[in-house]
Amino acid sequence: MEHIRRNERLAALTRLLTAAPNQIFTLSHFCELFGAAKSTLSEDIDILKGTFAHFELGKLETVAGAAGGVRYRASMPPEKAFNFISDLCAELCATSRVLPGGFLYLSDILSQHELVSSMGTIIAQEFYDAQPDFVLTMETKGIPVALMTAQTMGLPLVIARRSSKVYEGPAVNINYVSGSSGHIETMSLNRRAVTEGTRALIVDDFLKAGGTAKGMVDLMAEFHVDVVGSAFVMATAHPQNKCIQGEKALMIMDVDAANPGTLTVRPADWLAHRKA
Amino acid sequence: MEHIRRNERLAALTRLLTAAPNQIFTLSHFCELFGAAKSTLSEDIDILKGTFAHFELGKLETVAGAAGGVRYRASMPPEKAFNFISDLCAELCATSRVLPGGFLYLSDILSQHELVSSMGTIIAQEFYDAQPDFVLTMETKGIPVALMTAQTMGLPLVIARRSSKVYEGPAVNINYVSGSSGHIETMSLNRRAVTEGTRALIVDDFLKAGGTAKGMVDLMAEFHVDVVGSAFVMATAHPQNKCIQGEKALMIMDVDAANPGTLTVRPADWLAHRKA
């Protein structure tokens, strides 16, 4: 094997680690790939750690133990995360986004990869410690942010459907009361989509009363899966008591009851507290 | 500013360029960031080009002209792309995935970020030259692969809805005949979602007769947008004549008419030809 210089190793290491976020690579793996000694690779990793920290490119972490190695985790400093969400709130408060009946036009924001990718990073950072095994969302609008969260955490994404379709195979269905319409709806998930005894992180676009989120929790109970956390792009200020607890929303939307055409959107309190 | 070594610059450059694929960065931008001369940065980029090529990490390209600079494009060698799709086909042919009526259980594959990310790379590579301004998909199952294609190409993603919802705002609706059900369906897109005179790349999960795809083309015509290409994860072998033309599918599914429980999935011909 030709000799590979440190310069080249550092560039390749950066690409390989950041392309598979939250995945642990052993030093031996890289030693083999580059034909270099462990001590050399250790030095490489130390240099990268410093560079990543200096340029705020995320965190490179060494994990000790038998299953140890090195992993990359995306991260966004609390101040930067707060500012990103604040800017988004300002954009969302623009009059042209408020629709009749106090609805807010959000769809374009929920499908832009730069935006959902940053949201995914903020959510992932909050839930690494909860150690979920997969990310769960309910179709449709939450899919992009859930996918980006799953990618950032190196986890599979599981999508519950509004009803079971012929091309979905044997499925578990549950009924739930939608908070927004008050109607009884059906939620469906393929029998083999998740494994008993695993841990789910719910990621979705919008939380109002929490009927759909509660439905996802109930659906997971049918699979004997623990829900270890839930995150939403947007939650409404009212009702204050949601059907689920401990949820983390990125933004809070408040509609003026006297004048449904007027609404405000602000960053959630936990984002402000983390920064302080 | 403290002195930043080449080692550190190369790692940071790799991260910054690959985190914003297909986006052109000027050398001046990096000169300012690192406090280094243009000649130094040019050398850095040359080293990175070699490293990326050597480890098959994608392409670093220098773009000449007034709006020039350097950009990163993900890429997958034809042989590797063919093998990736072949492996996926083998996995999909497993008996347990074939559902009554000749349907195929695909949903789990369409939501795994490693898989849709590789599919996005293959699709992006095929359509860089068509210079689309955005990626268009129809909810729901194509969203992850469309999002990853959009990210790889550095483009916005636009999602057409099955019907216009109150929270979507003023929308353009069209009717189309679904190839699979033969029913008349409605497709809807916010008036402000796309700009007149731009170019769309359609990315979706499944192509059968092409009714939905034709619907997307018609919808774009209402917006005076050109469709410059279309890509699908899976297309059926029959009917051979689709409602649209020039589509690129990654996989072809063939159902044995005499025995709908037997189906085969194979890589599309263009993937094999490219490799040859």
Asked if B193 lies within 8 A of A12 by C-beta distance, the reply is no
- pLDDT value for A196: 97
Specify the pLDDT at position A102: 79
Rounded alpha-carbon distances, angstroms, from residue A128 to A200, A228, A267, B275: 12, 11, 21, 41
Residue A90 to residue A102: CA distance in whole angstroms: 17
Residues 6+ apart with CB under 8 A from B25: B16, B17, B69, B70, B71
- Quote the pTM value: 0.96
**Residue B111 to residue A158, Cβ atoms within 8 A:** yes
CA distance B153 to chain A (A): 11
What is the 8-class DSSP label of residue A96?
A: G
Mutate to test the interface with A, among B95, B140, B178, B236 (most CBs of A within 10 A): B140
What confidence tier does B197 reach under pLDDT thresholds 50, 70, 90? very high
Interface pTM, i.e. ipTM: 0.95
CB contact under 8 A, A57 and B12: yes
Q: Which residues of B touch A157 (CB under 8 A)?
A: 111-113, 144
> What b/e readout covers B24-39, taking b as 16+ CB neighbours within 10 angstroms?
bbebeebeebbebeee
pLDDT digits (tens, 9 = 90+) for B256-276: 878 767 889 999 999 999 988
Rounded-to-integer distance, Cα B68 and Cα B73, Å:
15
The torsion region of residue B227 among left (phi > 0), alpha (psi -120 to 50) and beta comes to: beta
Contact A156 B112 (CB under 8 A): yes
CA angle A17, A128, A265 (to 5 degrees): 110
Tens of pLDDT, residue by residue over A167-225, are: 788 899 999 998 767 889 999 999 989 999 999 999 999 999 999 999 999 999 999 99
| Alpha carbon A274 to its chain's center | 18
Question: What value does the mean pLDDT take over residues B230-249?
Answer: 94
Mutate to test the interface with A, among B167, B253, B263 (most CBs of A within 10 A): B167
User: Model confidence at B182, in pLDDT bands (50, 70, 90)?
Assistant: confident
Residue B109 reports pLDDT greater than 80: yes
Query: Is A1 a residue whose pLDDT tops 50?
Result: no
Write down the pLDDT at residue B275. Answer: 87
Does the bond joining B239 to the residue before it have cis omega, within 30 degrees of 0?
yes
pLDDT score at A2: 57
Nearest to B113 among A104, A157, A158 (CB): A157
Mean pLDDT over residues B169-184, rounded?
Answer: 87
Q: How many Å lie between the alpha carbon of A212 and the closest alpha carbon of chain B?
A: 17
**Min Cα separation B113/chain A (Å):** 6
Q: Do A15 and B14 touch (CB under 8 A)?
A: yes
CB distance B99–A14 less than 8 Å? no
Could you tell me the pLDDT band of residue B2, with boundaries at 50, 70 and 90? low
Res. B164: pLDDT tops 80:
no
* A99-103, A168-172, A252-256, B233-237, range with the lowest pLDDT: A99-103
Neighbours of A45 (CB within 10 A): 21
The stretch A76-101 carries a mean pLDDT of 92
Q: Of the candidates A106, A117, A140, which has its C-beta nearest B139's C-beta?
A: A140
Q: What percent of chain B has pLDDT over 90?
A: 82
Determine whether the interchain pair A169/B105 forms a contact, defined as Cβ–Cβ distance below 8 Å: yes
**Contacts of range B62-70, beta carbons closer than 8 Å, 24 or more positions apart:** B63/B24, B67/B24, B68/B24, B68/B26, B69/B24, B69/B25, B69/B26, B69/B27, B69/B29, B70/B17, B70/B24, B70/B25, B70/B27, B70/B45
What integer best gives the mean pLDDT of chain A? 93
Contact B167 A99 (CB under 8 A): yes
Per-residue confidence (pLDDT) for residue B1, from 0 to 100: 43
Question: In this predicted structure, which of A121-125, B105-109, B227-231 has the lowest mean pLDDT?
Answer: B105-109
